[in-house]
Amino acid sequence: MESGVEVDINRLRPKEMVDAEREAVNRTKKESTLAEKAEFLNIAASPEGKKLIELVVKKMQDRINRLITDDPEASAYKKILNEMRYRENMAKKAINELYDLHMD
Q: Give the predicted TM-score (pTM) of the model.
A: 0.46
- Chain centroid to Cα 19, Å, comes to 35
Q: Are 15 and 7 in contact (CB under 8 A)?
A: yes
Q: How far apart are the first and last CA of the chain?
A: 98
Where are the chain's structural domains? 1-45, 55-104
pLDDT in tens, 15-26: 888 888 999 999
pLDDT in tens, 42-63: 888 888 889 999 999 999 999 9
Q: Which helix (H) or strand (E) holds 71?
A: none
Q: Are 6 and 14 in contact (CB under 8 A)?
A: yes
